[in-house]
Chains A and B, each alone.
Chain A
């Protein structure tokens, strides 16, 4: 019985990839462990190893093919004694065999965390529900980017990943004092490829690979900032910044105050934050609320590529320590971004993504994907939601939120972080103080569940907010059934 080799998922968030190169050709014998192909994802190039032995009978996906979905059959392996005639059967049954029982025909070899092919199902479950890969512009001319972009500006399609990279590159060109340091930022080109190409352009002096010592290099970055430089410290994920949180809070955030204004700490701590997919409790946490607690820090969590770029540029120029929370799932998403030299977005200003009169939905970062999708579905049911993207968590643009709530009289907050002492809890409290008489319903929070993130795909899905929860919350505050 011929064995199908399926396109493997080589990282927790991989949905598709490019089949860059076949290292075996039809007729070659293959032993378990042989590298048979190279696959490129948006993050890295990785090798695919054969699990079973046999002869490569047929290649189903030619090298150079882009956008090959995870679990697509890419080749057929003949067992000993089989010949090409066995292939005809295999081809016809291909689709039905693309299930998880056969998916582990291929194991991935990678420096990164790898997941077994069955997790593709989990990825499907986890896939951001709001949009496809391309995020539409908000339809309201006054909303969103239109607030900041001159009419007639040319727009280009850019991923969040490219936007972040461009922001750093532009600021490094502009200011010699800016440098980036972190684990795998240089020769590896970034664990998530955010620093891709920077080493080539700026050299090892300014693109610095560090040992795996978050506490140490975060503190070193603080010292470099005291010494007149403008460090960008990349954490491979913000989960690892827990090791460094003393330096971030006690050293970076408090020095300006403790020094009576004499000297502060111009530094950016950035990296992916929040849940990725199927990486479980220690790697899935949203730190927005944690850092937003601290006077002296600025906390930014962009959703779109334009905001990612504009806000990161502003963060690098800011004389204060800025926590810049990215999201692994958003990295590969494409948005329209204005083709403007020196595009910046001010820290501390929310963006009205969508106008509406019936309810205000406030979110930020990946939470926006739920909010936007919910707003679209609600519109079909006759409920017009105003969706506000906070963009900056601290200092928080509460004026924009309050103004909207005074119009809609209702508010739902959406975030992936935990519910207690959450960003939403703070917003609810502020609304109660500043717009109590305008409220027609209690403010409701949609947040991550109050549990450590589980691994199992179904449980993970339950632990995260959903579009349905947002819709239900909106219906509750608008007293619809």
Chain B
């Protein structure tokens, strides 16, 4: 585990959720930066065999699910926008391994992986992609808008950056209720330039809200490379002006993500306020299914796949370090393929929503009346 030094000045005891927080001492900007720089990425977590197996299985499920979604899109079963998570699996799986019961997840529109990682059913997610009645949103949300209150997954948001204040609000509710839960708020390098992100950073730090901002830097906001859109390309430092520590994490190594997630969650749970994890990751597929892929070379993608693939890394360790045979690994592969095949089959055969659903779920009806 990593060590970190804490800035006692900026860690004055947390006030109430909304209390006007008056900083006990005024740290100079230099001191703050110096302190925050001590938040370095911890060494990768040590995984026991069962950790590696879980990571492998969960990441593979996302990979195979997304590949299948891509196929179904090509066949016309999935419409509209469809943003695949292939290549970034270690981020969400590693973070999930660091979370506790009650912690919340919220993200943008590249959300299928996050849903599967929180334990939402492949059938329900795929059926939503195909716009069928058994989808998580009865077919009314689609790829970008799915939720599971049970699994603490709060979307699924189609407006770039909008999930950041909402995730911060989840953390506000956690602090208000003093329930010990942490909000894991994901967004991309593109969203990181949205103004509402910084409005959120300010309030989260001011009120010491338990939120982990996970910036998934996959190098491209749609087709615009980070360096062409961002004056400061180190997103982990984007919180410095708000006294929010952050560091970069190898987002292709699930163990590194897990260790960073542990540190960040502990930071939040101990009342220190928000923290930023910049996950250095890569998306193999296009921004969405209609991506022309003119903004990067095939070689770049191929190099990343062959040298840094998050799933292959774990697979190698399973065989080399944990004594699993190729057949053992293939057994996991088969399980995963079966789940995905079943989900795809289900999602193609499930009926579309009843036409009456057009008019449902616009207003919640259970309005408590005057009686106490």
Contact = CB atoms under 8 A, between A and B. Distances in A.
Interface string B137-166: 111110001111100001111110010111
Nearest to B197: A216
Interface in A157-211: 174, 179, 181, 186-187, 203-211
A186 B17 CA distance: 14
A33 to B, nearest CB: 30
Contacts of B174: 227
B16 A205 contact: yes
B13 to A, nearest CB: 14
A229 B198 CA distance: 23
Nearest to B167: A223
Contact of A318 (B19, B106, B135, B367): B367
A219 B368 contact: no
Given A203-B16, A227-B173, A256 B362 contact: yes
A114 interface: no
A224 B366 contact: no
Interface in B154-190: 154-159, 162, 164-174, 176-177, 183
A229 B174 CA distance: 10
A126 interface: no
B111 interface: no
Given A223-B168, A257-B140, A320-B363, A213 B199 contact: yes
A260 B134 CA distance: 10
Nearest to A174: B372
B175 to A, nearest CB: 9
B168 A261 contact: no
Interface in A65-119: none
A458 interface: no
Contact of B159 (A174, A187, A246): A246
Interface string B101-143: 0001010000000000000000000000000000111111100
B147 A258 contact: yes
Contacts of B158: 250
A421 interface: no
A371 interface: no
B370 A342 contact: yes
B149 A216 contact: no
A452 to B, nearest CB: 25
Interface residues of B, number: 61
B172 A222 contact: no
A293 B203 CA distance: 31
Interface string A1-40: 0000000000000000000000000000000000000000
A181 B170 contact: no
A122 B216 CA distance: 55
Interface centre among A186, A213, A216, A217 (most CB of B within 10 A): A216
Interface string A420-431: 000000000000
A60 interface: no
A344 interface: yes
B371 to A, nearest CB: 8
A226 interface: yes
Given A216-B203, A318-B367, A319-B366, A260 B172 contact: no
Counting chain A residues whose Cβ lies within 8 A of the other chain, the interface size class is 35 or more
Nearest to B138: A260
B174 to A, nearest CB: 7
A387 to B, nearest CB: 26
A264 interface: yes
Given A204-B19, A226-B170, A258 B141 contact: yes
A204 B141 CA distance: 37
A369 interface: no
A247 interface: yes
B231 interface: no
Nearest to A345: B370
A223 B362 contact: no
B19 A317 contact: no
Contacts of A208: 17-19
B48 to A, nearest CB: 34
Given A219-B196, A223-B170, A181 B367 contact: no
Given A216-B203, A223-B169, A206 B366 contact: no
Interface string B332-372: 00000000000000000000000000001111111111101
Given A257-B361, A342-B370, A222 B18 contact: no
Contact of A258 (B145, B164, B364): B145
B202 interface: yes
Contacts of A221: 169
B176 A319 contact: no
A223 B20 contact: no
B15 A204 contact: yes
B76 interface: no
A358 B268 CA distance: 66
Given A222-B165, A259-B137, A181 B18 contact: yes
B16 A209 contact: no
Contact of B169 (A186, A209, A225): A225
A222 B166 contact: yes
Contact of A211 (B156, B166, B203, B372): B203
A227 B104 contact: yes
Interface of B: 15-20, 104, 106, 135-141, 145-149, 154-159, 162, 164-174, 176-177, 183, 195-196, 198-200, 202-203, 206, 360-370, 372
13 contacts: A179-B176, A205-B176, A208-B17, A217-B165, A219-B165, A219-B168, A220-B166, A220-B200, A222-B169, A224-B173, A227-B169, A227-B174, A262-B147
Given A222-B169, A224-B170, A258-B140, 5 more contacts: A206-B18, A250-B159, A256-B362, A257-B361, A257-B362
Q: Return the 4 tightest CB-CB contacts between A and B, nearest first.
A: A223-B169, A216-B199, A219-B165, A227-B173
